[in-house]
Amino acid sequence: MPTSSSEALEAARMNPERSLRTGQGSALRGILINSALGGAKLAAGLLGHSYALVADACESFSDVMGSCVTLYGLRIAAEPADKVHPAGHGRAETLASAITALVLVLVGGLIFWHAMISLGVSRRSPNPLTLLVLVPVILVKEWMFHWMRTRGKQIGSLAVIADAWHQRSDVVTSVAALAGIIIAWVGGPSWSHADSWAAMLASLWLVGTGLWLLSSPLHELMEGSVDPELMAYICEISRGCPGIKGIDKVWVRKLGMRLMVDLHAEVDPDISVQEGHRLAHEIKDKIQHDLPQVLDVMVHVEPYDPTRDLRPHRPRIGGTT
């Protein structure tokens, strides 16, 4: 059986309950840390007369909102299937990642608008003591970004990965605020609006990042293709079952962190219906054993036709998600 370093494949191997607990724990930690950092930046920005730092605090509070959305989405995704949602609630995690990305776009737009308005208002230069708040904030947020992104990739959660990029966005706005405060402090009164310009530049990065993050959940909602190595692994598992002559098609749907597999297995045309039914269940059991994140497997049994291998125009394996 093949091995692979594919992140999608490794995520599919994880225990579903453990994945959900990991995602929820990451989101909860983000809520607590961002609330504390946002409050510190807001107080320092107001007392130190730094618009960029106030805008940076708003971005931190948007991170709190994003983590709340992620936590709520993961809790809904953990709910079992019911009559209304027979495939479960996994797409709630996908929707949470889309909302998190849109929040980032909205916050970036608001920061840009208010920073642009502040250019026409005269004010005091920022207090350089605000730098004492920004430097540790940047270090903490950069650590959070790497920690949350690693967790998100391990469990295959778009929502947690999007939440991680919220942390990186906060790093960018904090670095922009740092640069703006230093320029305004060194340049004197004539450069008092430097941190507003810094906030505007950072907001453009926020909007761009939000739009980039939105592409992944939209890809999933539009049934886009999954990782090729994951597809190949599922095919190899299926072919390894005794009695299976070939795999004609594989179709994988991603429901948040869970997967739904639909495949066509080719068998000896002379076997009984009962034997074909047994082989189909053997494939299903084997896939779900090796890939616990697979919620269900639909196996279509087809008669094996050796002449089909001589037709190069017909693909042996195809698949979308």
Structural domains present in the chain: 7-221 (1.20.1510.10), 228-310 (3.30.70.1350)
Question: Where do the H-state alpha helices sit in the chain?
Answer: 7-12, 16-48, 51-77, 91-118, 131-155, 158-187, 194-221, 228-239, 273-290
Q: What three-state secondary structure class fits 173? A: helix
> What does the pLDDT read at residue 52?
65
d(CA 320, CA 171) in angstroms, rounded, equals 36
Under 8 Å between Cβ of 269 and 303: yes
Residue 69: name the closest of 151, 152, 157, 160 by CA.
Answer: 160
Q: How confident is the model at residue 113 (pLDDT cuts 50, 70, 90)?
A: confident
Q: Extract long-range pairs of 73-81: CB within 8 Å, 24+ residues apart.
A: 73/97, 73/99, 73/159, 74/20, 74/23, 74/24, 74/27, 74/157, 74/159, 74/160, 75/24, 77/20, 77/256, 77/257, 78/20
Please identify which residue in the block is written with the tokens 């002559």: 245
pLDDT in tens, 144-169: 899 988 888 888 888 888 888 878 87
CA dist 11 → 16, 151, 223, 228 (Å) = 9, 10, 19, 14
Nearest in space to 42 (alpha carbons), one of 34, 54, 59, 32? 54
Residue 43: pLDDT band (50, 70, 90) is confident
Give pLDDT, residue 297: 92
Average pLDDT, the chain: 81
Q: Among 40-49, 118-127, 191-200, 230-239, whose mean pLDDT is lowest?
A: 118-127
| pLDDT number for residue 311 | 46
Handedness of CA 114, 119, 124, 128 (dihedral sign): positive
pTM here is 0.73
Looking at this protein, which amino acid is placed at residue 211? L
For tokens 């991680």, the residue is 164
Whole-number pLDDT of residue 5: 46
Contact 204, 108 (CB under 8 A): yes
Token pair recorded at residue 143: 């650590």
